[in-house]
Each structure stands twice: as C-alpha cells, then as structure tokens.
Amino acid sequence: MATRLVHAPKVTSDPYGAVSPPLYQTATFEQVSAVECGPYDYTRSGNPTRAQLEAHIAHLEGASRSFAFASGMAALSAVLRLVRAGEHVVAGDDIYGGTSRLLTRVAPDLGISVSNVLTTDTEGLRQAIIPGKTKLVMLESPTNPRMQICDIAALTAIAHEAGALVVVDNSILAPTFQQPLALGADIVMTSATKFIAGHSDVTGGLLSVRDPALAERVYFYQNAEGTGLGPFDCWLAMRGLKTMALRMERQAANADIIALWLQAHPLARKVNYPGLPSHPGHAVHATQASSGGSLLSFETGSIEASRTIAEQAQLFKITVSFGSVSSLISLPCYMSHASIPAALRAQRGLPDDLVRISVGIEDPSDLLADLDQAMRKAMDKIGMSAAIPGFQLDGLTGSQRERQLLNRIAELEAQLQRLPT
Ligand SMILES: Cc1ncc(COP(=O)(O)O)c(C=O)c1O
Ligand SMILES: N[C@@H](CCSC[C@H](N)C(=O)O)C(=O)O
C-alpha cells in the first residue's frame, strides 16, 4: 500500500514527463470538429486531473472504477440515487451526523424508507431487512463517533443474500488501513476531506465501485447532477495520497499511546479505540483492518469536564473533521453530530459528554502533556481529585520534564499489543 500510494497508474499522457501530475484547470475542451469530441468535452463530465485521481484510487481500492465528488456527502448522495422510491435502506445507528441527516431528512422526500440497526450485531441486520424491498445497506466501521466495529464480511453476506448492495464508509481508516471491497462490499466511500487530503485544505469524497455496470450508474449521477470534484482539489488530493501512509502510521502510533494513557486516566470513563485490546470489537477489527487508526473518543461522565478538556487543550484545536496532520478535539453532540436531534441521539445512546480526538503527527510527548494539563483543569473544575497515572509534570522543567514524558511513552509503548500489519 505504501508503494501504491506513491506510484499511481498513469492515465494521462504528458510529453514533458512531469513528476507531479499536470493540473488541467479548465472547464471546457476544444473539440476536433463540430461533430467529433475528444476524450473530454466539459469538466463536469470528465477532466484528466480528476481521471488521474480516480484511477489512482481505483488502484488502491481494487475497484473497477472510482469517482471523485465535491464532498463525502455528495458521494453518499450519489449512492442514495441507486435506491428508488418505495425501496428501503438499512444503516447503522452510530453514524456520522451528516449521513444521519441525509437518511432522515432527504431519503424520505425521495420515497425511500430507512431503518437504523446496531451493526455490531449481525442478527440485527438480518431482522431489519425487508425481503424484496431492502436495496442498500450502509455501514461504517469504525463508526463515527463511538468507534464501534462491525464485521463487514458477515454483514455483506447477509445483505447480498437479500439482494441488497453494501456501501462501506471507510473515512476513518481510508484504504491505507482497510479495504472494504476485498471484504465483499460493493462500494466504498471515503471522505477525501480527511486522511487523503490530510491537511484540512480540501473537501472531497470518493466512491470506489467493484462492478463495472454499477460504476456506469454512479458515473451517470456524477455527471447528471454535476457533483464531481474540481481539478485543483483533485490535484491536492493526489498530492496528499503520496504521504498518506507515512502520516497515518505516525498518527496511529500517537493514537495508540494516547488511548492507553486515557484508558488508565480516572476522568476518561470509557475509551473507544479499536486498537485497544479491551475494545469489544478489537478481535473483529484485527481480521479486517491493519491498524486502530487515529480517531478515538471517550466519556467523562460530565459535560462540564468534557467541555473544559476541549477548551483548555492548546495543541488539540476545537475543530470538526479529522485525519489532519494537526490534532483536533471535538464534542460530537455539539459539533459533528449536532444535526441529529437530541432525542434521537439519546435514543441511539450517543452521550453528550463524549469527547472525540483526532490525533495528528505532532510529537507524542507534547500531545500527552497537553491532554494532561487540560484534564487536570477539567478535574479541578468538577472538584474531582484522584491520582493521575503516568506523570506529574507540574514543577518539572526542561530536560527533567522531557525525560519524564519519554519514560512514560516508553512504558506505554511497551504495553502496546499492536494489530498485525
Ligand atoms: C464518517 C464520515 N462520513 C462522511 C462524511 C462526510 O464527508 P464530507 O465532510 O467530506 O462531506 C464525514 C464527515 O464529514 C464523516 O465523518
Ligand atoms: N456543520 C457540518 C459539520 C461537519 S462534521 C465533519 C466531520 N465529518 C466530523 O465528523 O467531524 C455539517 O452539519 O455537516
């Protein structure tokens, strides 16, 4: 994967041998004659820079074709187009807020009904399927924001028995760490806004499709509805791909350490990170993914404490999104998942005090020190006193402080039971 991320199949011929793919920042293409069109006529219908990105993604995902959209939500909307009025969709009950909004507020207007099930339980899907009516199953693994793991191959087999297509939203792991088409899925969606771009400077979404006939239907909607990604954003996404393995490996290594540290912290009640052996989905995850990734969440039991952690952290910026080189922190119920009505969030068991962290590529000792000071302030705020495992940095300076942090990180690393790579 690390090699394939750097070496893309070339789909455009360039007389100058440019190492960085040329950027065709054009809306239209001059035609050979009034009655003949070359390979491209109009960027909404096709553009060589987008074609280059799409070919690279198809190569990474093992897809017949891939498609780049203006955002992850535009890509998921195109998937919803594959379902007709009167048909039925089954989705998880812990899903990204925007996907939930699409399914609760857009799908019904299209005459599509939706059921939400706990995807950690394969039987839940079987029971939710309406024979002859269920045409699409939408999965996330890990889920956003509770990082639940579903057995993609098992759920796909159940969906296929019923004649339904399966789309897996793989935004949290990207092809670097998980390739759902190889597990049987029909379509994989990755928000390129996250790890693929990697620098918080692009919004984009990718669909990779196994079956060429299904791919043709997806292309139809990309062109008909004008949702394709613009050339410059495609170019930025391609630049991001080259360093994606390096970034994601570093981010995951940092997240492993932070998850272990949080797990031992008295203020972190429940740490959701599939890289931890204690995570209920860890064993399934290890069969279908090669890393725990770098997104994790935890509860504190107090909204005030959670808010204080987010607001007192200095390196972790309060920001929606994830997968960036810089570390981010959020309270999903007030940010990425605020579009889900509070009653529905409560019904789905999404706690208001949940803190979500996207771990970046910074030095892990700085990240731990930052979380340490923010969590101490949160404990003070709610009047909680408890011994904090790990390190006491107060009063230490310079090399003493650094040594203390490095020792703690070495201890945590020694405890790591890494997933197979
Ligand atoms: C899991 C997941 N899927 C889809 C999306 C939508 O992607 P985008 O923001 O690129 O539209 C997001 C975030 O926005 C996400 O977290
Ligand atoms: N205001 C946006 C929120 C985007 S959330 C982005 C990302 N998927 C995340 O999980 O942080 C909206 O309502 O869509």
pLDDT digits (tens, 9 = 90+) for 65-122: 999 999 999 999 999 999 999 999 999 999 999 999 999 999 999 999 999 999 999 9
Best residue among 335, 354, 358 to mutate for probing ligand 2, ranked by most atoms within 8 Å of CB: 335
Q: Is the pTM of this model over 0.90?
A: yes
4 flagged as catalytic: no
Nearest to 137 by CA among 169, 170, 109, 111: 169
The answer to whether residues 147 and 285 touch, using CB atoms and an 8 Å cutoff, is no
pLDDT at 421 over 50: no
Taking phi first (over 0 means left), then psi (-120 to 50 degrees means alpha), and beta for anything else, what does residue 355 get? beta
Check if 205 has its Cβ closer than 6 Å to any atom of ligand 1.
Answer: yes
pLDDT at 284 over 80: yes
pLDDT at 419 over 60: no
User: 4, 44, 250, 401: which one is catalytic?
Assistant: 44
pLDDT at 172 over 60: yes
User: 135, 194, 307, 376: which one is catalytic?
Assistant: 194
The answer to whether residues 162 and 130 touch, using CB atoms and an 8 Å cutoff, is no
In eight-state DSSP terms, residue 33 is S
For residue 336, the CA-to-ligand 2 centroid distance in Å is 4
381 flagged as catalytic: no
The answer to whether residues 296 and 359 touch, using CB atoms and an 8 Å cutoff, is yes
How is the chain split among helix, strand and coil, in percent rounded to 5? 40, 15, 45
Average pLDDT of the segment spanning 243-247: 98
pLDDT at 394 over 70: no
Instruction: Please state, in angstroms and rounded to a whole number, the distance separating the CA atoms of residues 114 and 116.
Output: 7
Strands 328-330 and 317-318: parallel
User: 93, 94, 151, 169: which one is catalytic?
Assistant: 169
Instruction: Please state, in angstroms and rounded to a whole number, the distance separating the CA atoms of residues 397 and 367.
Output: 17
For residue 212, the CA-to-ligand 2 centroid distance in Å is 31
44 flagged as catalytic: yes
For residue 98, the CA-to-ligand 1 centroid distance in Å is 7
Tokens coding 304: 């005030």
Residue 390 Cα distances to 88, 97, 325, 394, angstroms: 50, 35, 26, 13
Instruction: Please state, in angstroms and rounded to a whole number, the distance separating the CA atoms of residues 281 and 288.
Output: 11
Predicted pLDDT of residue 411: 75
Average pLDDT of the segment spanning 42-67: 98
Phi, psi angle pair for 187, to nearest 5°: -140, 140
Specify the long-range contacts of residues 153-160, CB closer than 8 Å, at least 24 apart: 153/183, 153/184, 153/288, 154/122, 155/119, 155/122, 155/125, 156/183, 156/184, 156/185, 157/184, 158/122, 158/125, 158/126, 158/129, 159/90, 159/125, 159/129, 159/134, 160/184
Phi, psi angle pair for 355, to nearest 5°: -110, 130
Tokens coding 250: 């570093």
pLDDT at 211 over 70: yes
Task: Please provide the average confidence, as pLDDT, over all residues in the chain.
Answer: 94
101 flagged as catalytic: no
Cis peptide before 21 (omega within 30 of 0): no
Q: Count Cβ atoms within 10 A of the Cβ of residue 168 and give its class: 0-12 exposed, 13-18 middle, 19 or more buried.
A: buried
The DSSP line for 48-110 is HHHHHHHHHHHHHHT-SEEEEESSHHHHHHHHHTTS-TT-EEEEESS--HHHHHIIIIIGGGG
Check if 203 has its Cβ closer than 6 Å to any atom of ligand 1.
Answer: yes
Instruction: Please state, in angstroms and rounded to a whole number, the distance separating the CA atoms of residues 326 and 336.
Output: 18
Instruction: Please state, in angstroms and rounded to a whole number, the distance separating the CA atoms of residues 45 and 112.
Output: 28
Task: Give the three-state DSSP class for 39.
Answer: coil
Check if 416 has its Cβ closer than 6 Å to any atom of ligand 2.
Answer: no
**Of 393 and 287, which is predicted with more confidence?**
287
Check if 96 has its Cβ closer than 6 Å to any atom of ligand 2.
Answer: yes
Task: Give the ligand 2 atom nearest the CA of 335.
Answer: 3
Predicted pLDDT of residue 420: 47
| Residue carrying the six token digits 């504190």 | 300
In eight-state DSSP terms, residue 166 is E
**pLDDT tens figures, 140-163:** 999 999 999 999 999 999 999 999
Which residue has a Cα nearest atom 2 of ligand 1? 96
For residue 411, the CA-to-ligand 1 centroid distance in Å is 35
Predicted pLDDT of residue 389: 62
Residue 294: its H or E element: none
Instruction: Please state, in angstroms and rounded to a whole number, the distance separating the CA atoms of residues 39 and 331.
Output: 47
Task: Give the three-state DSSP class for 289.
Answer: coil
Task: Give the ligand 2 atom nearest the CA of 73.
Answer: 14
Which residue has a Cα nearest atom 13 of ligand 1? 321
